[in-house]
Amino acid sequence: MNTQPLISPQELTSLLAENSSQVVIIDTRSPEEYAISHIPNSINIRDFFTYLLDNSYPAGLNKLQEHFQEILSSVGITGTEWLIVYEDAFNKGYGQSCRAAFLLKYLGCAQVSVLHGGYRAWLKAELPTTNEVPLRECSIFKLHPNSEMMVTTIEMLQAIDNPGIIKLDVRDREEWLGLSSSPYAPDFCPRKGRIPDALWLEWHRLMISDAEIPLFRSKAEILEICESIGITSDSIVYIYCFKDSRAANTLIALQTAGIYAKNYFGSWNEWSRDFSLPIDSKVI
């Protein structure tokens, strides 16, 4: 199968018609939203959005791997399927389907695509929905972690003094300014601020986020926006947000534009809680 990072509702429909037995659709929305309606035969795995990494040291990453290995095995995913992930809409779900795609690839799934436009695009295309929950037999999900995808805290710390690596903060404005520690509450984390020497690009700028169906911008538009803050097609970029949903969303945008980027999955939720790590805490 020719896997692509983004797949349209129409392309997904064609794919299902051709080879539905090798395709698994994963809904990352809340269980309540999923219960009302969802794409037929999709399975709900909310943990792709809610899971918080303890830390990006070996013990924390091993715990993450075991957690999702158990979940994926319980719903019959082996890792060999073409996995399609979706959320409600990119501007509402904060890129949770992109976070799911990142995690699935990190865990060793080679064929993963994000439904471009999410569930709203599916509805806009007037494609079928259901409230029936598919029955799936358990399997054994085979872990093949790709450590090259994951920027650890140690690697991000080393990158601070490396001008050849751009540290890209894609959080919302209030978080970047040092007025809030998270999108959940101003004091959710113990410290406010930024990773030193980071650049800022608010995540939704790489999408047409105010459209009826938010979609990623074109390659040319993404490159133009990135170049305005000093990121080019020759750059190496380490991205972070609060817990990696917005960063994973940005990762896909940069990759579609041909920019080499990696995710610091622990992001501000991990960095801010380790008081040995430096921060720029000045309110801008």
What would the pLDDT profile of 161-217 be if each residue is shown by its tens digit? Answer: 999 999 999 999 999 999 999 999 999 999 999 999 999 999 999 999 889 999 999
What would the pLDDT profile of 72-115 be if each residue is shown by its tens digit? Answer: 999 999 999 999 999 999 988 889 999 999 999 999 999 999 99
Q: In 3D, which of 80, 60, 194, 17 has the Cα closest to residue 72? A: 80
Is residue 93 packed enough to be buried (19+ CB in 10 Å), middle (13-18) or exposed (0-12)?
buried
Residue 8 has pLDDT above 90, yes or no: yes
Residue 1 has pLDDT above 50, yes or no: no
What would the pLDDT profile of 12-71 be if each residue is shown by its tens digit? Answer: 999 999 988 899 999 999 999 999 999 999 999 999 999 999 999 999 999 999 999 999
List of residues 6+ apart from 146 with CB closer than 8 A: 105, 106, 107, 108
Q: Is residue 241 within a helix (H) or strand (E), and if so which, with residue range?
A: none
Q: Which two tokens stand for residue 283?
A: 């309110």
Residue 3 has pLDDT above 80, yes or no: no
Q: What is the CA angle 8-10-11, rounded to 5?
A: 65
